Amino acid sequence: MRADTDVDAEAVPDSDADSVRRALDAFRAGDPVCVHDFADREGETDIVYPAGAVDEAAVAHMRNDAGGLICVAVSDAVGDAFGLPFLADALDHPAVDDDPEYDDRSSFSLPVNHRETFTGITDEDRALTIVELGNAAAAADADPGNYGPDDFAAEFRAPGHVHVLRGARDGLRGRTGHTELGLAMAAAVDAAPAAVVCEMLDDETGAALAPADAEAYARRRGIPYVEGAALVEALA
């Protein structure tokens, strides 16, 4: 994974290179990016934020304009430091069947609330949980030997209202979901290895918002729109 924001113009067509640059500039500034994964994968566009930049207004933006689950993706190394399991591995129930059609497995880990929240579901509560997950990810990334599961448990409780996702061990080389795409952008701008992702749904059909509609929305709102394939070419 590349740590800089210089995009190889020979590897990525100019239009894709421009979209990647705009996306990384926004992410570096703490602003959202609309990321479409792949038509042959989930075929979804997510609104993606760096976790450390999320406030109440950002949570409201995602629940109103996206409508999917608001999740925080953390890198595999941070997941290890937190002691977080994959949720399917932690549950002992006959309903567990982690074999989605779009991938080898889901990236869901524990849903958590920060311990200073009340119910955990309000915009204020979720913003606090998300920002503190970003802070914890930064601490674990900086000194993984000095942040462990007990430290995580001192800050967060499960179950909660913010789903934590674990990134693939090899990043975009191992998996190309929104989890890894968000984490790749975070790494590219030297942000904490924690990214917030929320699927955009169509109010009329209830299905995933069509890419053309998501791109039009992004254009109206002045939010960068980028294809997952362009991010993979630039950052993997």
| Beta-carbon contacts of residue 194 (< 8 Å; ≥ 6 apart) | 50, 51, 52, 72, 73, 74, 75, 78, 133, 134, 137, 138, 183, 186
Q: Kindly give the residue spans of alpha helices, DSSP state H, lying in 83-227.
A: 87-90, 123-142, 149-155, 178-188, 211-221
Instruction: Give yes or no: 135 in active site.
Output: no
Q: How far apart are CA 171 and CA 1, in angstroms?
A: 7
146 catalytically annotated = no
Global pTM reads 0.90
Pairing of strands 108-114, 225-227: unpaired
**For residue range 79-115, what is the model confidence (pLDDT) as tens digits?**
999 999 999 899 889 998 888 777 667 889 999 999 9
Q: Is 14 a catalytic residue?
A: no
Q: Of 102, 143, 170, 190, which is the active-site residue? A: 102
Which of the residues 113, 132, 163, 233 is marked catalytic? Answer: 113
pLDDT for 12 beyond 60 = no
Which of 36, 37, 61, 71 is catalytic? The answer is: 71
102 is annotated as an active-site residue = yes
How many angstroms separate the CA atoms of 98 and 96, rounded?
Answer: 6
Model confidence at 40, pLDDT cuts 50, 70, 90, reads low
Neighbouring residues of 127: CB distance < 8 A, sequence distance ≥ 6: 54, 55, 56, 58, 59
Q: Of 16, 199, 227, 233, which one is the catalytic site residue?
A: 199
The mean pLDDT value for 199-215 works out to 95
Q: What is the pLDDT of residue 115?
A: 98
* Annotated catalytic residue 199: yes
**10 catalytic per annotation:** no
Q: How would you classify residue 195: left for phi > 0, otherwise alpha for psi between -120 and 50, otherwise beta?
A: beta
pLDDT in tens, 43-93: 799 999 999 999 999 999 999 999 999 999 999 999 999 999 999 899 889
